[in-house]
């Protein structure tokens, strides 16, 4: 349970504080002076110290300075006080206080908002626990320091490298890299350039004792996400690592959403096949490739027979199931290089590169036979279709020819594939 140590002279404020935060599910310890505070600190784990400035035993500032020199230095401290002086604020923040809250009537609510934010599960910290991290440095002391900081924060997927070439030759792709700038045989900048050529899906942090703005600027331009100065402060080290990982995750989220948007713009929602606009674009591209010297290409237009009767007898939900099932059955018969699109409400376009008219007709016939074995509520499903092969046609010419063949197939009794037609009559 998250434990708060509250230090304040006022019995009233200690009572209000304890009542408010215990009601919120926190464990609260109360101290009236510095000696009582240290006694409670020795008794168990404390996650946060909330102190007033006016406390017995030396005052709040003295208490904070003593904490900084003690084994409790890593416990975050928040000051709650009626003294709202800007100068006092600056002095306290310089001592490492993480927040400063005015002691008003609703100070407890403000403090609760802060604690809620602080204790919320950080996705970046959680992700770090599962990430693979590479640390490259020729100093065993620096490597040990970084390893200790990471392990103390629950990060264990760490690989240590002293040889830059061993890292570059490794087949492991890490999510986070720490790269020292001064290395044997190659500069850290060159290592970063080589790592960045492999892709952007990683965080690269340069580490060095060099404090020169030109060097730092050049390293960042070479592909590093951040530059950390030695010697490290553990708190700042982790804060900047988490910040970089958080930004990295947000960029990945944005890229994934963009991919989803791009996919949805070309995909038919019901069937998962290409939508009308995109499959027509694919047909135009296929026609252009043939004109530029590519192999033969054919196209098939298939339509579900008697679909309006299915909707009328069983409802649109069953009709949607029929459309999805037909699309899935067609897809099972296609190669990776073939394309399937929902061209109309119950019509599907198959683009079949490298296939002549005979092959396209044979494929369509196999699909027709397989679909005709599908049975929905005692009704057998059938499709009709028209197969055409390019012969100096425009994309729209192929669509018109296949559509006419589909119309003719239905006119002849449905459940059939047509591939020849007397075009001179039209």
Pairing of strands 297-304, 347-353: antiparallel
Per residue in 144-200, pLDDT tens? Answer: 889 888 887 788 899 999 999 999 999 999 999 999 999 999 999 999 999 999 888
The enclosing H or E element of 31 equals strand 27-31
Q: Which domains does the chain have, with CATH numbers?
A: 3-119 (3.40.50.2300), 125-257 (3.40.50.2300), 276-425 (3.30.70.270)
248-249-254 Cα angle (round to 5):
100
- Residues of the chain with pLDDT > 90: what percent? 62
**What is the C-alpha to C-alpha distance for residues 414 and 306, in angstroms, rounded to an integer?**
9
Per residue in 69-100, pLDDT tens? Answer: 999 988 889 898 887 788 888 888 888 888 88
**What is the C-alpha to C-alpha distance for residues 300 and 41, in angstroms, rounded to an integer?**
78
Hunting for tokens 């009236």 — which residue is that? 32
pLDDT at 98: 81
| pTM to 2 decimal places | 0.57
Per residue in 108-140, pLDDT tens? Answer: 888 888 777 666 666 788 888 899 999 999 998
Average pLDDT, the chain: 90
Query: Given CA atoms 406, 408, 414, 420 in this order, what sign does their dihedral have?
Result: negative
**What is the C-alpha to C-alpha distance for residues 17 and 10, in angstroms, rounded to an integer?**
11
pLDDT at 317: 92
Tokens of 322: 């029929």
Q: Establish whether the linkage from the previous residue to 417 is cis, with ω within 30° of 0.
A: no
Secondary structure class of 160 (helix, strand, coil): strand
| C-beta pairs of 289-294 under 8 Å, 24+ apart in sequence | 289/353, 290/390, 294/353
pLDDT at 105: 76
């Amino acid at each position: 349970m998250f434990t708060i140590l509250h230090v304040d002279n006022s019995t009233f404020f200690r009572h209000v504080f304890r009542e408010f935060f215990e009601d919120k599910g926190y464990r609260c310890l109360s101290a009236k002076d510095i000696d009582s505070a240290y006694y409670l600190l020795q008794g168990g784990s404390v996650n946060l110290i909330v102190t007033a400035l006016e406390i017995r035993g030396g005052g709040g500032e003295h208490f904070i300075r003593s904490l900084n020199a003690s084994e409790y230095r890593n416990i975050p401290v928040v000051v709650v006080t009626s003294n709202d002086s800007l100068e006092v604020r600056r002095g306290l923040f310089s001592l490492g206080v993480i927040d400063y809250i005015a002691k008003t009537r609703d100070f407890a609510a403000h403090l609760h908002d802060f604690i809620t934010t602080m204790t919320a599960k950080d996705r970046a910290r959680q992700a770090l626990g599962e990430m693979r991290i590479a640390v490259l440095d020729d100093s065993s002391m620096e490597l040990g320091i970084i390893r200790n900081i990471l392990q103390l924060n629950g990060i264990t997927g760490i690989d240590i490298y002293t040889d830059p070439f061993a890292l570059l030759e490794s087949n492991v792709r890490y999510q986070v890299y720490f790269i020292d700038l001064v290395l044997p045989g190659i500069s850290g900048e060159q290592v970063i350039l080589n790592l960045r050529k492999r892709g952007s899906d990683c965080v690269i942090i340069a580490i060095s004792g060099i404090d020169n703005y030109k060097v730092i600027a050049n390293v960042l331009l070479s592909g590093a996400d951040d530059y950390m100065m030695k010697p490290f402060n553990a708190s700042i080290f982790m804060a900047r690592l988490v910040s970089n990982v958080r930004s990295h995750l947000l960029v990945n989220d944005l890229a994934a959403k963009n991919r989803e948007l791009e996919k949805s713009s070309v995909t038919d929602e019901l069937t998962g096949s290409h939508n009308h606009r995109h499959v027509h674009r694919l047909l135009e591209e296929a026609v252009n490739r043939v004109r530029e010297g590519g192999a033969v290409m054919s196209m098939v237009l298939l339509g579900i027979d008697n679909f309006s009767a299915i909707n009328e007898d069983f409802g649109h939900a069953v009709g949607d199931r029929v459309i999805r099932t037909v699309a899935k059955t067609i897809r099972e018969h296609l190669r990776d290089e073939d394309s399937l699109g929902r061209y109309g409400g119950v019509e599907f376009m198959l683009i079949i590169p490298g296939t002549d008219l005979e092959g396209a007709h044979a494929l369509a016939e196999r699909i027709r036979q397989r679909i005709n074995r599908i049975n929905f509520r005692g009704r057998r499903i059938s499709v009709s279709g028209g197969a055409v092969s390019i012969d100096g046609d425009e994309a729209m010419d192929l669509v018109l020819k296949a559509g006419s063949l589909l119309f003719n197939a239905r006119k002849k009794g449905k459940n059939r594939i047509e591939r020849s037609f007397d075009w001179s009559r039209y």
